[in-house]
Amino acid sequence: MSVQRPVPGEYYINDTGQLIKVRCMLYRDAEISMIMLQYQDGYHLTIRMDEWNWLGLKPYSDWFFGGKSADSGQEC
């Protein structure tokens, strides 16, 4: 499992194809403590950072560009 750090405002995709946005994060002692996620249907979910690692999310841009970064200079 690859570990992705959550980035507020970024979209991620899960194994079932659901698009999930990181809305905000709560820090405690300079470490990410809680993460608020928003699904496309508007449902909000707040999870702990250790739970984030088990979601198996991929950045949407990686999925959309087929594993190539958006600034790789290659056209789709």
DSSP bridge pairs for 22: 37
Q: Is residue 41 situated within a structural domain?
A: yes
DSSP bridge pairs for 25: 35
pLDDT tens per residue across span 37-47:
999 999 999 99
Report pLDDT for 65: 73
Tokens of 3: 């570990």
Q: Is residue 70 situated within a structural domain?
A: no
Q: Is residue 4 situated within a structural domain?
A: no
Q: Is residue 26 situated within a structural domain?
A: yes
pTM: 0.76
Average pLDDT over residues 23-52: 95
Q: Is residue 2 situated within a structural domain?
A: no
Q: Residue 38 is part of which domain span?
A: 11-61
Q: Is residue 53 situated within a structural domain?
A: yes
- Quote the number of domains for the chain: 1
Residue 59 pLDDT > 80: yes
Cα distance between residue 18 and residue 32, in whole Å: 23
Helix (H, G, I), strand (E, B) or coil at 49: helix
Q: Is residue 22 situated within a structural domain?
A: yes
Q: What's the whole-number average pLDDT of the chain?
A: 84
61 vs 71, more confident: 61
Q: Is residue 72 situated within a structural domain?
A: no
